[in-house]
Structure 1
Amino acid sequence: MLAKINNFEIDLSKPIDISIPLTNTDENPIAWYIEKPVIEPVVFGDWVGKVSEGKSSTNFNNIFFNPHGHGTHTECLGHITNDFYSINQCLKQFFFTAKLITIESEKIGEDLVITKKQVEKAMNISTSFKTKTEALIIRTLPNQAAKKSRKYSNTNPPYLSEEAAIFIRESEIQHLLIDLPSVDREHDEGKLLAHKAFWNVKDTYNLNPDARLEATITEMVFVPDEIEDGNYFLNLQIASFENDASPSKPVLYAVSNLK
């Protein structure tokens, strides 16, 4: 099924899902020092909400999870502000022009950092849309499938430099997606420099009027190696949680016939 949008076409029959499924197994990725998700049937006395146990006509599970620590999620600036902001209220559009880039983090001291120079170079390699690119997806190297089940706590994963986040913001990217548990350093004394820079948040307790309320950050995606860098169309799907973050399902579509 082909859809024509502006000056290009997308094939809706060939979605590229870059989300990581949430499970209650040891294969689920974990960050931020928590345990794996819990998915279990509701129990009322002798009644168990599981068809295979022979006491229910339906499967009826409770699910306990943390969107930030258990897989692909999309967050708004409410993640770092004193006042409450909901991803369900901040994200009101769901289709965007997008660019996928691949970067190998640079060793700086004890850290692996994605720098402004790397992002700028990678963004300039592929042809831009005739219309503005709204979303940026960063795939990091090495890109092992182990990312889909990695236990990130206390491993000091790579992160985005403040200067790189400023550059992305100044490039008018509204939606940033990355295959890491955070755009910031794991242990950063609460500075959250990249988060603040991307959302243009100067004071988390007294939000400045030019903070980017509609901008989002999506973390812990996984983009397989066979997906080439370049331009795509992004469908950014979330669950309707009134929370700073929601589990999400970003889906890419190849773009053709650019004019």
Structure 2
Amino acid sequence: MLNWREKEIDLIATIKQNSRNYRIDLSKALDISIPLRGKASNVNAWYVDSPKIEPHISDGRKVKVSEGASVNFNNIEFNPHAHGTHTECVGHITKDFYSINKHLKKFFFLAEVVTIAPEKKENDFVISKKLMEYVLEGKNCDALVIRTLPNTKGKLTRQYSHTNPPYISEEAMRFLVSKKVEHLLIDLPSVDKEKDNGTLASHKAFWQIGGKIRTQATITEFIYVKNSIKDGPYLLNLQVAPFENDASPSRPVLYKILN
């Protein structure tokens, strides 16, 4: 019998992406998601109540081991767009139904992690095309992971409603489309201005609404990239829960490229 405690398991994997082979160490995942908590301190946006994780009530009693039940059996109430890391498809802004579970068909991508300090523009802070061109000069990637400055742990619990967070300009999004970036990840609640009268110009530009819609493209919001993760190329594993919905809670994971 093989004693696994005495055997060192090789977790180095080779993944072929864009006609190239990339070696990664599967034992050293860099999780850039924010976990969902049933507390008021859970990160929040879009003017909704906090998520709830509570024991199911059956015959007037909580189904909870500490209360005499044989199992813990929680109900979970949340909104994927408002309560943490989520990945959305074009169905977020279309009359026609598109499911993230149906349209995200690949899960590994060559990604570039970049750090950007949004620029002041009147009363807003904006990621402009100029900033995007600067951080992506000479680089090509399937997925772009944006860490904004300042980058503090406060992003894990921030209440964003009515705070006018930074956002990405429409021109910057069109630039990403021209660079063939198909998966955009950012540590903000939205790529658009919080209160824009429903214009959603940046979402529409990224998915090419009004043209040939990029149904394969995704936007992931509410990530958190620790300061210890350096800018540069990574392999991204974009994991989503199989919800038949325009958006799903997700767990994006980065791996350093060894070769």
TM-score by length of 2: 0.93
CA drift at 1:49? 1.1
CA drift at 1:45? 1.7
Q: Secondary structure at the match of 1:176?
A: strand
Equivalences for residues 1-259 of structure 1 within 5 A: 1-5=11-15, 6-54=20-68, 56-124=69-137, 128=139, 133-202=141-210, 208=211, 210-257=212-259
**Matched residues, number:** 245
Q: Distance in 1 between matches of 2:64 and 2:137?
A: 53
Identify which range, 4-13 or 145-154, moves more after superposition: 4-13
Q: Distance in 2 between matches of 1:46 and 1:155?
A: 41
Amino acid at match of 2:177: R
Identify which range, 44-53 or 93-102, moves more after superposition: 44-53
Q: Distance in 1 between matches of 2:87 and 2:159?
A: 19
Amino acid at match of 2:243: F
4+ residue segments displaced more than 4 Å: none
CA drift at 1:26? 2.5
Q: Distance in 1 between matches of 2:176 and 2:80?
A: 24
RMSD over equivalenced CA pairs, Å: 1.0
CA drift at 1:22? 0.2
Q: Distance in 1 between matches of 2:149 and 2:232?
A: 16
Q: Distance in 2 between matches of 1:199 and 1:170?
A: 12
Q: Distance in 2 between matches of 1:7 and 1:62?
A: 43
Amino acid at match of 1:100: V
Q: Secondary structure at the match of 1:256?
A: coil
TM-score by length of 1: 0.93
Q: Distance in 2 between matches of 1:236 and 1:226?
A: 20
The CA deviation string for residues 34-54 of structure 1, in whole angstroms up to 9 with x for no partner, is 011011111112432110111
Amino acid at match of 2:193: R
Q: Distance in 2 between matches of 1:157 and 1:48?
A: 39
